[in-house]
Amino acid sequence: MTSAELKPSEQPEASAAGLPGHRLPAVDLDDWEGIRGSEDGSGLRIAIACSRFNGRVTGRLLKAALVELDRCGVSDGSRTVVWVSGAFELPLAAMALARTRQYDAIICLGAVIRGETSHYDFVAGQCAAGLQRVQLEMSLPVVFGVLTTENLEQALARSGGAVGNKGTESAMTAIEMANLLRQVESTRPGVLDNASAAQKPRQES
C-alpha cells in the first residue's frame, strides 16, 4: 500500500493549527551539542505492523505514516506493511520482522480504547512491554505508535483530528532513530567529539 493510492478524502486531516498531520515539538538546537538522526529516509528500509482491531482508527494512522514516509524519501520498495489481529499481537509481529534483519526500523500501529472491563489495562501494558523488549533485544528501533485512549473520540482526535496524527509522528521517529543508530554505530574512538562539533549549528559572527 502506498500513499499515492489514497483517495483525497482519505488523506490525513489537518491539525487544529492548519498543518497536515502531526509534528514532533520543535527544539532549538543552537545551544545543544551531539549526534542527532536526520529526517532523510532515503535508503532506509521500514516495516509497519498495523492492528486490524479498531480499524477505523488504525487505518488513519497507517495512511498518515505512509504519507510521511513518502515525504521523507522512503521508497515504496523499501517498506513493508503487515497486519495483525490486535495490539496484543504487535510484539510478536515486530519480533518476526526484526529477526529477518531486513529493516532499519519497525513502526507498530494500533489503538486500544478503554471499555467497561480491565481488558484495556492488560492489552496496553503488555503491548508496550513487548515492543520495548523487541527493541532492546534486537537493537532495532521499534516505534510505539499505539494510541491508548479513554474513548473513540480521543482516538479519532489523535489519528488525524485536532490533536494531530500519531502515524505521522511514528514515521518521523522511526526515520530519526534509524539514522541515529547508523551514526552511533559508525562512531569510533576520537570521532564522537568531531561529529558533535560538526553538527552544532554555527554561530553567526
Active site residues: 119
Q: At what angle do helices 119-138 and 90-99 cross, to 10 degrees?
A: 10
Report which residue type is found at 147. Answer: L
Give the Cα separation of 115 and 149 in Å (integer): 10
Give the Cα separation of 35 and 152 in Å (integer): 39
* Residue 110, Cβ density class (10 Å: 0-12 exposed, 13-18 middle, ≥19 buried): buried
Residue 121, C-alpha cell as written in the block: 489495562
Q: Which residues pair with 110 in a beta bridge?
A: 146
